[in-house]
Homo-oligomer: A and B are copies of this chain.
Amino acid sequence: MMLFGVATKPDNDWWIGSNIPDTKNLSKYESLMFQGNGYFGIRGTLEENYLNEKRDMFVLGSFDKLQGEATELPNLPDIVNIEIIVNDRVLSLNHGKVTNYQRGLNLKNGEIIRSFDWQVGECKLHFKFQRFVSMHNLHLFVSKVSITPLNNNIRLQIKSGIDGQQTNSGAQHFLEGSKRLFNARFVQMQTQTQESKIKFALTEYHRLFLEDSELTLNPHLIIDRRRVCANYSVDVEKGKLLRFVKYATVFSSKDKDLEVNVSEDSLKELKRVGRLPYQTLLDESSKVWDEKIWQKSMVEISSHNNKPQIAINYARYQLVANMPHDFGMNIGAKGMTGEGYKGHAFWDTEIFMLPFFMFNMPHYAYNLLVYRYLGLIGAKRKAHEGGYKGAQYPWEAAMPTDAESAPLWGSADIITGEPMKILSGDTEQHVTSDVAFGVSQYLVATGDEDFAKRMGYEIILQCAKFWDSRVEWNADKNRYEITDVIGPDEYKEHSSNNAFTNYLAHWCMKKGAEIIIDLRQNNPHDYERLNIKLNLKRLLKDLIIKASKLYVPEPDENGLIPQDDDYLSYKKINVEKYKKADNTSEIFKDFDLKQLDKIQVTKQADVVLLMLLFENDFTRDTIMENWNYYEPKTTHDSSLSYPVHAILANDLGLYDKAFDYFEKSCQTDLGVNMQSSIRGIHMASLAGIWKVVVEGFGGVRIVQSKLKIQPHIPSTWNSLRYSIVWHKTKVHVHVTHTHFSVLTDGKFKFIYHDREYQTDAGEKLIIEL
Q: Which residues of A contact B (CB under 8 A)?
A: 49-52, 66-69, 94-95, 164-172, 175-176, 178-181, 184, 194, 221, 223-227, 411-417, 419
Contacts and interface: CB of A to CB of B under 8 A. Distances in A.
Which 5 A-B residue pairs are closest in the complex by CB-CB distance?
A165-B170, A172-B172, A170-B226, A169-B225, A178-B412
A69 B94 CA distance: 37
Given A51-B51, A171-B226, A225-B171, A414 B166 contact: no
Interface of A, helix, strand, loop or mixed by DSSP: loop
Nearest to A194: B67
Contacts of A49: 51-52
A746 to B, nearest CB: 52
B175 A172 contact: no
Given A67-B175, A67-B194, A170 B412 contact: no
A120 to B, nearest CB: 13
B172 A167 contact: yes
A176 B173 CA distance: 13
A176 B68 contact: yes
Contacts of A227: 169-170
B68 A175 contact: yes
Contacts of A170: 164-167, 172, 225-227
Contact of A414 (B168, B181, B412, B419): B181
A92 to B, nearest CB: 8
Given A168-B225, A169-B227, A180-B417, 5 more contacts: A67-B194, A68-B176, A166-B170, A170-B226, A179-B414
A95 B51 CA distance: 13
Contacts of A180: 412-417
Contact of A167 (B167, B412, B414): B167
17 contacts: A67-B175, A69-B176, A94-B94, A165-B167, A165-B170, A169-B225, A170-B172, A170-B227, A171-B172, A171-B176, A171-B226, A178-B419, A180-B412, A181-B415, A184-B415, A223-B411, A223-B414
Contacts of A165: 167, 169-170
A753 to B, nearest CB: 52
Contacts of A413: 180
Contacts of A178: 411-412, 417, 419
A419 B69 CA distance: 32
Nearest to A173: B172
A413 B181 CA distance: 9
Nearest to A163: B170
Contacts of A175: 66-68
Contacts of A94: 94-95
A71 to B, nearest CB: 13
Contacts of A166: 170
Contacts of A224: 169
Contacts of A167: 165, 167, 170, 172
A224 B172 CA distance: 16
Contacts of A184: 415
Nearest to A418: B180
A49 B52 CA distance: 9
A357 B180 CA distance: 44
Contacts of A66: 175-176
A529 B69 CA distance: 52
B171 A412 contact: no
A80 to B, nearest CB: 16
A448 to B, nearest CB: 41
Contacts of A95: 94
B181 A226 contact: no
Contact of A50 (B51, B67, B68, B411): B51
A172 B64 CA distance: 15
Contacts of A67: 175, 194
A158 B26 CA distance: 22
Nearest to A417: B180
Max chain B C-beta neighbours (<10 A), residue from A66, A171, A175, A416 = A171
A600 to B, nearest CB: 28
A41 to B, nearest CB: 20
A359 B66 CA distance: 49
A168 B164 CA distance: 12
A417 B170 CA distance: 29
A45 B94 CA distance: 21
A164 B415 CA distance: 20
A176 B171 CA distance: 8
Contacts of A411: 178-179, 223
A184 B224 CA distance: 43
A386 B227 CA distance: 33
Max chain B C-beta neighbours (<10 A), residue from A167, A411, A414 = A414
A221 to B, nearest CB: 6
A316 B548 CA distance: 86
Max chain B C-beta neighbours (<10 A), residue from A68, A170, A180 = A170
Contacts of A164: 170
A184 B416 CA distance: 11
Contacts of A181: 414-415
A66 B51 CA distance: 27
A172 B168 CA distance: 10
Contacts of A419: 178
A104 B670 CA distance: 46
A644 to B, nearest CB: 30
A446 to B, nearest CB: 41
Contacts of A221: 414
A417 B225 CA distance: 16
A413 B182 CA distance: 11
